[in-house]
Amino acid sequence: MTDPIKEPLLPQDFIASGASAELFDLGGGQVIKLFRDSVSEEMIAREAEASAHAAASGVLTAAAIGRRTWDGRRGIVYPRLEGRTLMDWIRRNPMRAGWVLGQMGAIHGAMHQAGGGNLRSLKQVLTTDIAYGPAPIMVQRAVIAYLDTLPEGDMLTHGDFHLGNVMLTPQGMMVIDWSKAAAGHPAADAVRSEMLMRFGIGPTDWMTNLWRDWAAGRLRRSYTVSSTVTARDLDQWRPVVALAWLRARDAGRTPAFMHYLDRALQRVGLPTLR
């Protein structure tokens, strides 16, 4: 769908802004997500495809209605979801964070029962990110050889499952923002969420960091109860996913993250960075 939208988008139609896009209300229960110019065509196509695949697989989400361009900007039209992101919800209801994190882990586990369909291979993505990342070549080689020994996995993985990408709606928790989706092992997706919670974008003052570490533990516990993934699976995938993240990581707590990465490498007998 490339037909231009007839009505101009007005400031009062603005809903939210994320790292990669801005959301506007189109009326009639629809929103348009307009991507920033820096976002690749491939990512936009993947997001539209993966959201539709997830919805068809029974995951609670807003499935893309179609692609649209508006005023030269590339966009995807989605059904409008009511409610707010878990991040906003927790800020307003901090005492109920434990409950929300429990539900969030449970829907992540449920999501991992869906197959990955035609999505790209997560193992391939991790291999590329490690190879093009900043780690010394010796470490890259050892970790890629180790990754080769891990199971392929063919389940639906989100790749960016954090508090800003789940909305609490009257219909339940809905997962949004599928641009990093892939077919792979669920444990890789779960450790990615652990990293985003602890070391992802957002405030990094000491109080928030304590909260982040607690929240990651709470999320992990509810996730492992709701999935077939074990603590050992998470230990196996953690070093790979953490090293791959170095390529594009754009967040604070770097010393703590490097310590976490080294411990994860050490635990499975891989060479460390320091």
The site for ligand ATP (CB under 6 A) is made up of: 15-16, 18-21, 23, 31, 33, 62, 78, 80-81, 85, 164-165, 176-177
Nearer to ligand ATP, 9 or 147 (CB): 9
Q: What is the C-alpha to C-alpha distance for residues 154 and 141, in angstroms, rounded to an integer?
A: 24
Q: Which stretch, 14-22, 42-50, 52-60, 121-129, contacts Mg ion (CB under 5 A)? A: 14-22
Q: Based on CB atoms, which residue is closest to Mg ion, 125 or 176?
A: 176
HSE-CB for 181 with a 13 A CA cutoff = 29
The smaller minimum CB distance to Mg ion, of residues 52 and 256, is found at 52
Q: Which is nearer to Mg ion, 116 or 200 (CB)?
A: 200
- Copy the structure tokens of residue 218: 């709470």
Q: Quick one: which of 5, 13, 16, 18 contacts Mg ion (CB under 5 A)?
A: 18
Give least dist CB 140 to ligand ATP, A: 27
Strand partners, 33: 23, 76
Name the minimum Å distance from CB 18 to Mg ion. Answer: 4
What long-range pairs does 56-65 form, CB within 8 A, spacing at least 24?
57/114, 57/115, 57/117, 57/156, 58/114, 59/110, 59/111, 59/114, 59/156, 59/175, 60/107, 60/171, 60/172, 60/173, 60/174, 60/175, 61/174, 61/175, 61/176, 61/178, 62/174, 62/176, 65/30
Number of Cβ atoms within 10 Å of the Cβ of 73: 15
Query: Does 51 sit near Mg ion (CB under 5 A)?
Result: no
Least distance from ligand ATP to the Cβ atom of residue 17, Å: 7
* Region of 5-13, 162-170, 227-235, 249-257 interacting with Mg ion (CB under 5 A): 162-170
Residue 108's binding partner, choosing from Mg ion, ligand ATP, none, with beta-carbon cut-off 5 to 8 A by kind? none
Q: Which positions from 209 through 268 interact with Mg ion, judged by CB under 5 A? A: none
Question: For the chain, what is the total number of helices (H) and then of strands (E)?
Answer: 9, 10
User: Nearest approach, Cβ of 105 to ligand ATP (angstroms)?
Assistant: 19
Task: List the single partner that 21 binds among ligand ATP, Mg ion, none, CB under 5 to 8 Å by kind.
Answer: ligand ATP
Q: Which of 177/189 has CB closer to Mg ion? A: 177
Tokens of 89: 């919800």
Q: Give the distance, in angstroms, between the CA of residue 188 and the centroid of all CA atoms in the same chain.
A: 11
Q: Which does 20 bind (CB under 5 to 8 A by kind): Mg ion, ligand ATP, none?
A: ligand ATP
